[in-house]
Chains A and B, each alone.
Chain A
Amino acid sequence: MKSKTADRIATGVFIAIAIIIISILVGLFSYILINGFKYISWDFLTTPSSNIRAGGGIRDQLFNSFYILLITMIIAIPLGIGGGIYMAEYAKPGKVTDIIRSCVEVLSSLPSIVIGMFGLLVFVNTTGWGYTILGGALALTVFNLPVIVRVSEDAILAVPRELKEASLALGITRWHTIKTVILPSAFPSILTGIILAAGRVFGEAAALLFTAGLSTPRLDYANWNPFSPQSPLNIFRPAETLAVHIWSVNTQGLIPDVEEVSNGSAAVLVISVLLFNLLARWIGSLITKKITATK
C-alpha cells in the first residue's frame, strides 16, 4: 500500500507544479493587461514621448520598433532561408558541415548583450555610423539568423521525400526543384517560424541599447525622403524602440509618470507579441489548408 500512497502524493505534486506554472502565466498576463489597458489610448499611441514632463506617449518608439523589425527581416530572411537550404539540401556530412552547425549553435546561444557589444564595436564604432537603425537591425540579424536557419532547415527536411524525388525524376535540376517544389511546400512552416522569431525580435532590448541607441531625433512624419535626418524612414538615425524605452524610463528616466508610461508600453509590447503568436498560428493553419486541401 505504501507505494500506492507515494504514487498518489507524486501525482498531486505534479498537478501542483502544472497549476503553479499556469498561475504564473495567468498572473503575469492579467497584471500586464489590467494595469496597462488603463493607459492605452489613441493619445498615448500618437504623442511623442517626453524626457522630463508627464503625459508623453510612445508614437516614435512604436514606429521604431516596427521599422527596425522590418529592416531586420529584410536582411535576415533571405540569409536565413539560404542557410537553411544549404544545411538541408547541399551540406554533405563532414567537417565543413560540422563547423557550420557549430556556428549556428554558437550564434544561437550568445547572450543578446554580447551581440549588442559586437554591434557597438563593429556597426557603431568601426564603421563610424554612430547609433543607427541599420546598426541595430544588423545586430538583431545576428541574433535572429540562427533561429530562421533552424526553422527553414527543419521545414525543408520535413517535406516528403517523394515530392523531391518525383521532381528530380522528371529531369528537373536540383536548384529548380528547390525553388519550385521544396520551398513552396515548406513555406507554411517557415512562415510560422519567422513570425514567431519576429515576436522575439520585437521585444528584444539588450542588443539594441548600444546599437540603435536610447534616443530618437525629432521626427517629421510628412517627410518621406529616406536621406533626410528628420525622416522616420532614414536608416542612419538613432532609434529607441519600445522595449528599450521601458528599460530606459525605469532605470534612467526623469519623467514623473514612469509607472503609467511603462505600464502602457508593457501592455502594448505584450499585446503585439501575442498578436504575432496568433498570426503565426492562423496563417500556418490557413496555408496548410489551402495547400493540402484538407479541412
Chain B
Amino acid sequence: MEKLAPAKDRLVKSKQNWVDGELRGKILVLLCAVIMITATISITIFLGTKGLQSFIKNGVSLIEFITSTKWNPTNQANPEYGVLPFIFGSFAVTFLAAIIAAPLGIGGAIFMTEIAPSWGRKILQPVIELLVGIPSVVYGFIGLTVLVPFIREHVGGLGFSLLSGMIVLSIMILPTITTIATDAISSLPKSLREGSYALGATRWQTIRKVLIPAALPSLLTAIVLGMARAFGEALAVQMVIGNVRNLPTSILDASATLTTIITLNMGHTTYGSVENNTLWSMGLILLVMSFAFILLIRYLSSRRKL
C-alpha cells in the first residue's frame, strides 16, 4: 500500500523530477560545450609550449630558424636548423594550387548557378560531393603512380616536384572552393541579375560586372579556406613532392613542405631531442598559420555587404 502516496506528494515529487531533469540536461549540454573550449585551448597551450622548447631550452635562434635555408640537424659538429625552404615550399604549393583551383572552382560554381541551374547542378553537385569523399592518401597514391611518372616522361625532371604537389593539392581543394562559391553566388538576391538583364546586359556581362563583384568577399573566403586546407595537407603532398631540403629553383624541382618534413621525421627522431623539438616548432608554425587563415576569413566576411 505504500505505493499510493497522497496526490499532493506525488505532484510535488514529479515537479521535483522535472526540475532535476531540466537542470541535468542543461549541465549535460553545457559540459559538451566546455569540452570543446577545453580541447581548443589545450591544443593551443600544449603545442605552443612544446613548439617553443627548441628556442627556449635548446637555444635555437628564432631568426635562424625562420630565415636560414640550411637544414642539417643531424650534423654532430655544427647542426643547422633553418626551415625557410620548407616554409617556402608550403607557401609555394598552397598558392600554386589556389591559382589552378580558384578559376576551376568558381567557374564550376558559375556553371551550376548561372549557366545550367537545373541539370548542371544535378550532375555537378554529386561529382563535387564524391571528390570530397576521396581520402587524401588515395590522392597521394594516384599522384605517385600516375602523375609522377607522367611528369618525369613528358615534362621533365624527376617527377617528384612542386608541380606534382600543386596538381594533387588543386584537385583536393577544388570541392571546398566550388561548394562555398556556389553557396555565395546562389545566395545573391535575384533582383541583381534581373536588373542587369533588364538593362540589356548579356549573361557574361552580368556575371563579370555584377555577380562576381557582389559575391567577391565570399569568393575570396572560399579561396582562403581552400588554401588553409592545402597548407595543412600532409600525406598526399609528402608522397609526390620529393622531400629534399634545398630551396627549389623551378617548378619541376623536388621540394618539401612543413607538413611533409614533420610526417617524415617525427617517427624516427628521439622524443625530446633538438631535432624532434624543431619539428614541434614547425607544428607551431602550422597552428599559427591556421589561426591566421581564420583571422583572414573573419576580415573577409566582415566586408561582405550583401
Q: Judge: A and B partners, yes or no.
A: yes
Q: Which residues on A are within 8 Å of B, measured CB to CB?
A: 3-4, 6-7, 9-11, 13-15, 17-18, 20-22, 24-25, 28-29, 31-32, 78-83, 85-87, 89-91, 99-100, 102-107, 109-115, 117-118, 120-122, 125, 142, 145-146, 149, 173-176, 178-179, 199-200, 202-206, 209-210, 214, 243-244, 246-247, 250-251, 259, 262, 266, 269-270, 273-274, 276-277
Q: Is the CB of A110 within 8 A of B135?
A: no
Asked if B43 and A266 make an inter-chain contact with CB atoms under 8 angstroms apart, the answer reads no
**Contacting pair B47 A118 (CB below 8 A):** yes
B205 pairs with A113, CB closer than 8 A: no
Docked Cα-Cα span, A277 to B131, in Å, equals 11
Is A18 within 8 A of B138, CB to CB? no
CB-CB under 8 A from B29, the residues of chain A are: 82-83, 85-86, 89-90
Residue among A112, A176, A202 facing the most chain B CB atoms (10 A cut-off): A112
Which residue of A has the minimal Cβ distance to B133? A273
Quick one: which of A11, A20, A117, A246 contacts B283, CB cutoff 8 A? A117
The reply to whether the CB of B130 lies closer than 8 angstroms to some CB of chain A is yes
Q: Are B233 and A205 in contact (CB under 8 A)?
A: no
Nearest chain A CB to B302's CB is how many angstroms away? 14
A-B residue pairs, 5 tightest by C-beta:
A111-B232, A203-B135, A82-B32, A175-B25, A17-B107
Q: How far is the CA of A161 from the CA of B264 in the complex (A)?
A: 52
Residue in chain B with minimal CB distance to A176: B21
In chain B between 110 and 153, which residues have their CB closer than 8 angstroms to a CB of chain A? 110-112, 114-116, 120, 123-124, 127-131, 133-138, 140-142, 144-146
CB distance from A126 to the nearest CB of B (A): 8
| Selected contact of A111 from candidates B26, B128, B146, B290, CB within 8 Å | B290
Given contacts A13-B107, A17-B104, A251-B238, contact A114 B232 (CB under 8 A): yes
- Since A82-B28, A107-B39, A111-B233 are in contact, a sample of 13 more A-B pairs with Cβ atoms closer than 8 Å, ordered by chain A residue number, is A10-B203, A21-B124, A25-B127, A103-B40, A110-B287, A111-B290, A114-B290, A121-B47, A173-B22, A178-B25, A200-B133, A269-B135, A270-B133
How far, in angstroms, from A81 to B25 measured CA to CA in the complex?
A: 12
**By DSSP majority rule, is chain A's interface helix, strand, loop, or mixed?**
helix
Are A17 and B111 interface neighbours, CB within 8 A? Answer: yes
Total A-B residue pairs with C-beta atoms closer than 8 Å? 251
Q: List 24 A-B contacts (CB under 8 A).
A: A7-B203, A10-B207, A14-B107, A14-B110, A15-B111, A15-B115, A17-B103, A22-B123, A28-B134, A82-B28, A82-B33, A100-B36, A103-B40, A113-B286, A114-B43, A114-B290, A118-B47, A206-B259, A250-B239, A251-B238, A266-B142, A269-B135, A269-B137, A273-B135
Residues of B within 8 A of A79 (CB): 32, 35-36
